[in-house]
Amino acid sequence: MKRTVHYIITGCMAALILVSCGNTPSLQSYFVDHQETASFISQDIPISMLNIDTSNFTEDQKEAYNSVSRLNFLGYKSDSTNIDAYTDEVNKVKAILNDEKYQDLMEFSDRGNRIVMKYVGDDDEADEVVIFGSSKAYGFGIARVLGDDMNPQKMITLAGLMQNADVDEEQIKSVMNFFK
């Protein structure tokens, strides 16, 4: 009897572990699976390496900037020879980002370029902010913004500031050259 109960408990625990592991793709596993693949570029960028001048930032903007510790970037280069592969990869990323754990933050399109910002966490604190930009002409890029005490609304403001920030382009030169 004890042996039967032992087998039942062991079997239930094994089933629970297998079910909890699931095979739903995650953004992190997508990064790992593609970081060494042709047509992709991967870069881990500590925010301090960007040498951004924050002297004109407001206190809220500085707080948002200081809450970010690093960016994980994965890019895919598209051209006229790999449109089908580009479309497949974009659909994979979209499927991952459609998971209910990703909250919508912002989305816009401009001249065939599409930008989506999402976050994981709650309205006060994001564990991760994801920026996904795509263009059939150039490809797509995914930036995972990681840090502590990141406020989703302040991240929108920070994203707008980063477009005009004085970034040390030497630190992201390989990414910029990849898309040329």
65-108 per-position pLDDT tens digit: 888 888 899 999 988 888 999 999 999 999 999 999 999 988 98
Question: Is residue 20 assigned to a domain?
Answer: no
Q: Residue 15: inside a domain, yes or no?
A: no
Number of domains in the chain: 1
14 domain-assigned: no
Q: Is residue 66 part of a domain?
A: yes
Give domain status of residue 2, yes or no.
no
| Residue 17 lies inside a defined structural domain of this protein | no
Residue 117's domain comprises 25-178
Q: What is the rounded CA–CA span in Å between residue 143 and residue 145?
A: 6
Please report, for the domain that includes residue 113, its CATH number: 3.40.1000
- pTM to 2 decimal places: 0.76
| Model confidence pLDDT, tens digit, residues 41-64 | 898 888 777 777 788 888 888 888
Q: Which structure tokens are listed for 14?
A: 């094994």
Q: Which of 123, 144, 120 is nearest to 133 (CA)?
A: 144
∠ CA(117), CA(123), CA(125), 5° rounding?
85
Can you read off the two tokens belonging to residue 29? 């596993």
Q: What gap in Å lies between CA 130 and CA 135, rounded to an integer?
A: 17
